[in-house]
């Protein structure tokens, strides 16, 4: 598939692929290596070490070999580390909180993260990451969001999730919290990426929300169990948020907001960057307005997010109220319109008369069905149904993120150690 070819057209991944049936100790050695202090503070050091072999092999390498790869201090720390005990402790902690370990070489490792520079060698997951989560949008923004920002984030997340889009965010206060709640509230899927271990929820008042997110999607971390939410973890966490999504929407951000790091990472990955405008006098909108000035797409509603998607992405969307979604708007009306559409063009006036819907409802419904790839305008005010079989096939095989011209602000990358 062309999108997949674009996605993998960059440099080869730097992580050594594991055999699918590694012993448990070898699998958890990947997490143990992430606990060695010189490796914790330098993401590239982990990847440099993987050139020597698997983590279990790294822990048993000679000091000379390790020193040539990462220096004398790191080599000494690795050899002094009790990795077997750490692996057992990590596995036990994960079991206690119901977390699962995913390695880069596992088949169910998120495909969207594979092509990014320095992809996380492992992920710890509460809940489940599914194939359909490839159709994802990140929604991020201010921790001190205004009522307007909270309302926009929650509504946008709900509208996208009701249409089958997975909403990715960071479980922080403000916009992130609103985005997760909006998606979960309509029965949609949402993924929270933490800057701590999956058993250390921050902020603590979002512990119950983390449980809801795990039930309707996944709570994900690239950090070992028990890792505290230290400030230096959040740029790496923001990179994973951007990496998991087809694009990133910023809802309220001051000029130095961490959400802008996520937007920059998205642009550098070739993903789309969107921004919700606010008041020109509000400091919390200065960052989003700067993104728009630098090329981010202005977003007023879900239609602005999906409007420029390629047809294969739009066909993976679903009508609200179908396939288990609990969308609040228009499910029955959409079904009535779809029932009238076929191979022969039908006029809008005829649909108004035969459905009993208001003209505004028919107009809005047809616009949405066009965006979903389920209806096509032929001429004037006439419509036909478009390729339902293809749409169903695409829903079974959601799209992979594509490369392309990056949008958004260009600056020295804050996304690497």
Q: What is the CATH number for 297?
A: 3.40.50.450
Domain with 388 in it: 329-394
- Which residues in 190-203 are b (16+ Cβ under 10 Å) and which e? bbbbbbbbbbbbbe
CATH number at residue 354: 1.10.10.10
pLDDT digits (tens, 9 = 90+) for 110-143: 999 988 888 999 999 999 999 999 999 999 999 9
Q: How far apart are CA 299 and CA 305, in angstroms?
A: 7
Q: How far apart are CA 44 and CA 52, in angstroms?
A: 14
Looking at the fold, whether 146 and 262 belong to one and the same domain comes out as yes
Looking at the fold, whether 151 and 286 belong to one and the same domain comes out as yes
Looking at the fold, whether 187 and 297 belong to one and the same domain comes out as yes
Sign of the Cα torsion 395, 401, 402, 406 reads positive
Higher pLDDT, 319 or 197: 197
pLDDT digits (tens, 9 = 90+) for 45-60: 999 999 999 999 999 9
Residue 112 placed within a domain: no
Q: How far apart are CA 407 and CA 117, in angstroms?
A: 18
pLDDT digits (tens, 9 = 90+) for 291-338: 999 999 999 999 999 988 888 788 888 888 655 444 334 456 677 888
Burial of 283 (0-12, 13-18, 19+ CB in 10 A): middle
Which among 42, 257, 56, 250 has a CA at the least distance from the CA of 152? 250
Looking at the fold, whether 81 and 48 belong to one and the same domain comes out as yes
Average pLDDT over residues 11-24: 43
Q: How far apart are CA 362 and CA 99, in angstroms?
A: 46
Sign of the Cα torsion 4, 111, 241, 250 reads positive
**Phi/psi at 102 (5° precision):** -115, 130
Looking at the fold, whether 235 and 154 belong to one and the same domain comes out as yes
Residue 22 placed within a domain: yes
Residue 149 placed within a domain: yes
CB within 8 A of 209, min separation 6: which ones?
Answer: 171, 177, 180, 181
Which among 194, 171, 195, 197 has a CA at the least distance from the CA of 183? 171
* Residue found by looking up tokens 């889009």 in the block: 165
pLDDT digits (tens, 9 = 90+) for 253-283: 988 888 999 999 999 999 999 999 999 999 8
Number of domains in the chain: 3
pLDDT above 70 covers what percent of the chain?
84
CB count in 10 Å sphere of residue 55: 30
Which among 205, 188, 91 has a CA at the least distance from the CA of 136? 188
Looking at the fold, whether 180 and 294 belong to one and the same domain comes out as yes
Answer whether residue 224 shows pLDDT above 80. Answer: yes
Contact 201, 381 (CB under 8 A): no
Looking at the fold, whether 276 and 185 belong to one and the same domain comes out as yes
User: What pTM, to 2 d.p., does this model score?
Assistant: 0.77
Looking at the fold, whether 210 and 253 belong to one and the same domain comes out as yes
pLDDT of residue 355: 83
Residue 23 placed within a domain: yes
- The DSSP bridge partners found for residue 219 are 126, 192
CB count in 10 Å sphere of residue 253: 31
DSSP E strand stretches across 173-241: 190-193, 217-221
Q: How confident is the model at residue 392 (pLDDT cuts 50, 70, 90)?
A: very low
Residue 3 placed within a domain: no
Q: How confident is the model at residue 9 (pLDDT cuts 50, 70, 90)?
A: very low
pLDDT of residue 8: 29
- The DSSP bridge partners found for residue 275 are 250, 298
Looking at the fold, whether 151 and 284 belong to one and the same domain comes out as yes
Residue 36 placed within a domain: yes
pLDDT of residue 401: 56
Residue 45 placed within a domain: yes
Q: How far apart are CA 412 and CA 416, in angstroms?
A: 10
Residue 17 DSSP label: P
Residue 182 placed within a domain: yes
Answer whether residue 35 shows pLDDT above 60. Answer: yes
Looking at the fold, whether 357 and 290 belong to one and the same domain comes out as no
Average pLDDT over residues 186-206: 97
**Cα-based distances in Å from 294 to 127, 267, 274, 299, 305:** 37, 11, 11, 14, 17
pLDDT of residue 295: 95
Looking at the fold, whether 174 and 215 belong to one and the same domain comes out as yes
Which among 251, 366, 373 has a CA at the least distance from the CA of 307? 373
Average pLDDT over residues 285-292: 95
Residue 52 DSSP label: G
Looking at the fold, whether 335 and 295 belong to one and the same domain comes out as no
């Amino acid at each position: 598939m062309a999108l997949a070819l674009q996605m993998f057209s960059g440099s080869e991944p730097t992580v050594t692929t594991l055999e699918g049936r590694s012993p448990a100790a070898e699998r958890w050695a990947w997490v143990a290596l992430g606990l060695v202090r010189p490796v914790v503070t330098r993401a590239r050091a982990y990847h440099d070490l993987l050139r020597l072999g698997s983590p279990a092999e790294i822990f048993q390498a000679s000091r000379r070999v390790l020193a040539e790869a990462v220096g004398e201090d790191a080599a000494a720390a690795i050899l002094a580390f009790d990795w077997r005990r750490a692996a057992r402790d990590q596995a036990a902690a994960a079991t206690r909180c119901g977390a699962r370990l995913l390695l880069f070489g596992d088949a169910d490792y998120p495909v969207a993260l594979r092509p990014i520079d320095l992809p996380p060698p492992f992920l710890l997951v509460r809940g489940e990451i599914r194939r359909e989560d490839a159709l994802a949008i990140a929604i991020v923004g201010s921790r001190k969001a205004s009522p307007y920002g909270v309302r926009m984030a929650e509504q946008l997340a709900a509208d996208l999730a009701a249409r089958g889009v997975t909403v990715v965010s960071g479980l922080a206060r403000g916009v992130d919290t609103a985005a997760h709640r909006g998606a979960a509230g309509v029965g949609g899927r949402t993924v929270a990426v933490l800057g701590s271990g999956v058993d250390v929820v921050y902020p603590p008042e979002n512990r119950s929300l983390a449980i809801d997110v795990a039930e309707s999607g996944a709570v994900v971390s690239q950090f070992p169990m028990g890792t505290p939410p230290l400030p230096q973890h959040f740029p790496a966490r923001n990179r994973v948020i951007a990496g998991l999504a087809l694009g990133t929407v910023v809802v309220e951000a001051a000029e130095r907001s961490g959400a802008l790091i996520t937007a920059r990472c998205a642009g550098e990955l070739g993903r789309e960057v969107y921004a919700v405008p606010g008041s020109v006098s509000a400091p919390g909108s200065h960052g989003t307005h700067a993104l728009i000035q630098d090329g981010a797409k202005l977003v007023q509603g879900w239609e602005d997010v999906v409007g420029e998607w390629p047809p294969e992405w739009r066909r993976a969307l679903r009508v609200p109220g179908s396939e288990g979604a609990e969308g609040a708007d228009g499910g029955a009306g959409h079904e009535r319109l779809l029932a009238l559409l076929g191979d022969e063009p039908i006029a809008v006036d005829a649909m108004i008369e035969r459905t009993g819907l208001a003209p505004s409802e028919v107009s809005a419904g047809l616009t949405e069905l066009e965006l979903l790839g389920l209806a096509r305008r032929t001429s004037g005010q006439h419509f036909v149904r478009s390729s339902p079989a293809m749409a169903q096939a695409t829903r079974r095989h959601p799209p992979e993120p594509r490369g392309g011209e990056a949008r958004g602000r260009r600056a020295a990358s804050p996304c690497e150690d």
